[in-house]
Amino acid sequence: MHDPVLKPLSSDLPADPARRRLLAASAAGAALALPGAAALAQPREGVQVGPRSSFESLVPASEIEAEAARGYRDMLAQARARHLLAEPVHPQLRRLVYISTRLRPFAGMWNERAVGWQWEVNLIGSPQVNAFCMPGGKIAFFWGILTKLKLTDDEVAMVMGHEMTHALREHGRAQIGKEVATQGTISLLAGLFGWGMAGRQMAGVGGRLLTLKYSRDDETEADLIGLELAARAGYDPRSALSLWQKMAAASKGAPPAFLSDHPSSPDRLRTIAANIPRVQGLYDRAPKPDVRYGPPMTGGNSGKG
């Protein structure tokens, strides 16, 4: 049976079955994300990453999340107007929502604000090989990344965990904070967030958050934390290697949009491979998904789930 063609969104996304799990798991793991002697005294099982950027403190998290939400809504409105926004019943959107509900209970371990985020997942009927998660938990996948790479559920979880990490570790907020520090003007910050007459400048920030290019350190961090999120959710961490091998193959000729921000390289694969043993035990003990989907079986804006 064929998936329905992507159509404008006509109702809210399906109810989130992971809300209670999110609160419970986040409360249990919050101490792991907190800096200080208490967290450092006990070695944790999983990946090891450095501290978050000090530049993020220059920009209020709540303002960045609000602007991200506005930019996300604008993007969805444009997709809806072009009949490219998947309805909640679309099998591939249901697949993405299901995978997200398995990863999200562990988000609070890396950012306590994530417990209160209004998470959203949408599927855009574009051939681009791309996906992202904006500050505040606004996730989007493009049709092309599912069809052209024929992603398995485990590989989707690796992509989603990677993108979620950019939001959880507030890489976009840190970048904007660095710009503020570099320009050396408090008045710019005041203007960006509507604290003065220059508030109109903030209008483009939501859109900019859609197009940020992250540093190599940010990308490595997203690889590693995403690997752990997916493993804790019951998705095989070894699939991160097959994912990036597919990315490397796709980069031949005209690289997809995703690879302009997430370049594949032997170093990347080596780093991921070296960290799989750190999360293997988490995966082995994790409850496994009781629902499995799979990539669309046809191209275009429809396919088999």
Q: Are 142 and 124 in contact (CB under 8 A)?
A: yes
d(CA 194, CA 7): 36
Residue 258 phi/psi, 5° resolution? -60, -35
Structure tokens given for 145: 């990344």
d(CA 182, CA 143): 37
Q: Is 163 among the residues known to form the active site?
A: yes
Nearest to 144 by CA among 88, 227, 84, 89: 84
Among the options 56, 65, 163, 228, which is catalytic?
A: 163
H or E element: which one contains 63? helix 61-81
Nearest to 174 by CA among 45, 290, 38, 61: 61
Catalytic residue set: 163
